[in-house]
Amino acid sequence: MHDTLSRTAVPETADATGPELLEAGFRLVGAASDVPMLEGRRATVDGQRVAVFRLPAGFAAIDAHCPHRAGPLYDGLVADGCVTCPLHNWRIDLASGRVAGQEQVVGVHEVIERAGQLYVRLGASACDRGGDCDHAGEPAAGAA
């Protein structure tokens, strides 16, 4: 399964919003068309793994791995604004990062679509907050 977004060159847009977003701290992660409705794809932003989802109301981005045992959230089922981890079914709200019935919170990141491209700006991740993450040894996207 193709689960990874691949970066392309910064598109030349009529209003040049791409470069402005980059200056504002956003990073180009790939084409919006590569994320099907109610699915997720993984991407790397400044060395951090994120999962980008397409929802009926737009896009959402959270940390790529589950705070339980590092399940691949980008492969989870998406419904009602939440993703369900494919390993043990923890349910994570894509807007808040809250895990249903747990104390853990997943990092939420900003994602913007411009000219068919997706840009992500990192928020505080679970790692930054001293969360319980054990995914540091995963190979870089596209390396496997």
Determine, following the binding rule CB under 6 A, whether residue 129 of this chain makes contact with ligand FES: no
- Provide the mask over 90-109, with x wherever binding to ligand FES is found by CB under 6 A and - wherever it is not: x-------------------
Binding flag, residue 18, ligand FES (CB under 6 A): no
Q: Is 71 in the site for ligand FES (CB under 6 A)?
A: yes
Question: Tokens standing for 35?
Answer: 């994320």
- Whether residue 10 contacts residue 18, with contact meaning beta carbons closer than 8 Å, is answered with yes
Q: Is 132 in the site for ligand FES (CB under 6 A)?
A: no
CB closer to ligand FES, 11 vs 81: 81
Cα–Cα distance list, 133 to 27, 40, 69 (Å): 23, 20, 8
Q: Least distance (Å) from ligand FES to the CB of residue 86?
A: 7
What is the DSSP code string of 9-20? PPP--TT-HHHH
- Strands 82-84 and 40-45, sheet pairing: unpaired
CB of 88 to ligand FES, least distance (A): 3
CA pseudo-torsion sign 135, 77, 63, 22: positive
Q: Which is nearer to ligand FES, 32 or 73 (CB)?
A: 73
Chain positions contacting ligand FES, by CB under 6 A = 66, 68-69, 71, 85, 87-88, 90
